[in-house]
Amino acid sequence: MSASSLVIASRFHGPEGSANGGYFAGCVAVRAGRTVTVRLLRPPPLDTPLDAVELADGTLAVMAGTERCGEARSARLELQPPVAPNYFQAVEASRHYAGFKYHRFPTCFVCGTARSREDGMRIFAGPIAERGLVAAPWVPDASLDQGDGKVRPEFMSAVLDCPGFYAVSPDDRMMLLGELTVHVNRLVHVGERCTVIGWALEAASGRKHAAGTAVFDEDGDVCGLARALWIERKG
């Protein structure tokens, strides 16, 4: 393993045996040191050295041995989020989280119902139908601390992943994250009350569904934004 290898620990899985896409994208963005669009080419493996290789065209290829599992390209994110519901409205919305009835990946680090507090992030985004979005409360725990009381940037990316799925798949059709572009305005603090939302950006195009996500502080200020492309599996 090289000193610069990226290893996704098994704690941070989405589907069993694969890294959570948002967390993976955040780790790659940290390596890139800039706003990037991360494309997932195959499920990123866990507990496996991944090497980030910069190609001649500026693409950052993420390699698991000789296989490319992801890639990142410089991006500019221009996205206007809806007005945020307040924290208590998000708490109420989360009571209607679809994952409480059925969850394809109940141990997902971000949205899994089977993860305990201070292990999973437990982002349970439920619908606010009259506003056309899903919302969840988030109070980051100490395990997400980067050492100065603020959340590590890869967790800001992770929290902006799964709410997008629930925004574009209210009927729980099988989709996987294809691309994610995240821009962080500021890292939130451990213990800070935040609201996370997801909304559909446009009509679906075949098997492709675009979603926006955002995380707000208690004052309603945007702390992070993301645009995601979710892809329905064939069959």
| Domains of the chain, first to last | 10-74 (no CATH), 87-232 (3.10.129.10)
pLDDT of residue 189: 98
Those residues whose C-beta lies under 8 Å from the C-beta of residue 196, and which sit 6 or more positions away, are 90, 123, 125, 135, 136, 137, 138, 159, 160, 163, 213, 214, 215, 216
pLDDT of residue 235: 57
Those residues whose C-beta lies under 8 Å from the C-beta of residue 14, and which sit 6 or more positions away, are 20, 21, 23, 105, 108, 109, 110, 161, 177
pLDDT of residue 5: 84
Contact yes or no for 182/25 (Cβ under 8 A): yes
Chunked mean pLDDT (size 10), the chain, 235 residues: 75 96 97 94 95 93 94 95 96 97 95 95 97 97 97 98 93 88 97 98 84 97 98 79
Count other C-beta atoms under 10 Å from residue 167's C-beta: 26
Contact yes or no for 109/20 (Cβ under 8 A): yes
| pTM reported for the whole predicted model | 0.95
| Residue with the two structure tokens 């609201």 | 195
pLDDT of residue 173: 79
